[in-house]
Amino acid sequence: MVCRQVLILAARAVVLAMFACQQGNSAPAAPKDPGTGEKTLVQRLLRITGLTAAPSQLRGADDTNAVGDLWISDLPGHTTTALTTDGGYASPTFASDGAIYALKGMAIVRVSRQGKSPVEVQKVTGVAKLVGFEGAGDDLIVLLEPALAGSPLGVVSLKSGKVTVLPYHADSETERRMLAQVRGQDRVYGDTTVYTKEETKSGVSRTLEWTDVYVKRGSETPRNVSLCDGVTCIQPALSPDGRAVVYVKTAE
């Protein structure tokens, strides 16, 4: 009797083991989230000051090829000051500590706010625009032209100069819209919007056209903070403390 019970228990154990094995072999793999890459890219870009979750709201013109001198507008003081005078600068951006970086030719430069000469930080190839810093480190997200490995976005390490391509999915509408915002100029920082606006005035022989930089806070009336008066000013970026805007003033 005892032997029979032992045999029955042993048989049950074998059956349960076989069933468990079959379940392990036939169970479907956990489905991959088709939007994982998209979420990763968008979340990284959203961490950069000035990019929004709804990029289609803003359609700033793409002026990534325009260059000029860097100017800064002190918002509380209502003053503008030239930071450079030798030209050739593009896509300025602020680091988390308030330092200003920009492109000049094939180099990323650090620009002083105290009148000192810009300092070359890294040589770069194929970088068309500085998008912004990711956190408080030295990783700078950039727009790449031409795209590398199918991606128009990458990260440049200011320490090593290494460019790491960010995953980009061209079939994702969300990522395409985010890329359109990256290429544009308008930015939203909390309740503050920084954007460019076309201006016109009658000249002696023709109508003059240019763009100025505007700042709008909450429900306040938008304010022209560049006052370029006939000279095109573009590519604005707001400082981390919200007290200054850096931008490019093109050649007259």
For position 203, what pLDDT does the model report? 81
Token pair for 200: 């016109």
For position 205, what pLDDT does the model report? 86
Q: Is residue 47 part of a domain?
A: yes
**Number of structural domains the chain divides into:** 1
Which residue range forms the structural domain that includes residue 58? 35-125+167-250
Q: Is residue 131 part of a domain?
A: no
**Amino acid sitting at position 72:** I
Position 165 confidence tier, pLDDT thresholds 50, 70, 90 = very high
DSSP 3-state assignment of 174?
helix
Q: Is residue 132 part of a domain?
A: no
CA 236 to chain centre: 13
Instruction: Say how far apart CA 105 and CA 27 lie, in whole Å.
Output: 56
For position 116, what pLDDT does the model report? 87
**Residue 18 scores a pLDDT above 70:** no
Instruction: Tell me what the pLDDT averaged over the chain comes to.
Output: 82
Q: Is residue 245 part of a domain?
A: yes
Position 49 confidence tier, pLDDT thresholds 50, 70, 90 = low
Q: Which DSSP string corresponds to 73-88?
A: EETTTTEEEES-SS--
pLDDT tens by residue, 104-160: 999 999 999 988 899 999 999 999 999 999 878 899 999 999 999 899 999 999 999
For position 92, what pLDDT does the model report? 96
For position 164, what pLDDT does the model report? 93
What is the percent of the chain where pLDDT is above 70? 79
Q: Is residue 148 part of a domain?
A: no
Q: Is residue 161 part of a domain?
A: no
Helix residue ranges, H only, 27-166: 36-46
CA 164 to chain centre: 15
Q: Is residue 226 part of a domain?
A: yes
Q: Is residue 117 part of a domain?
A: yes
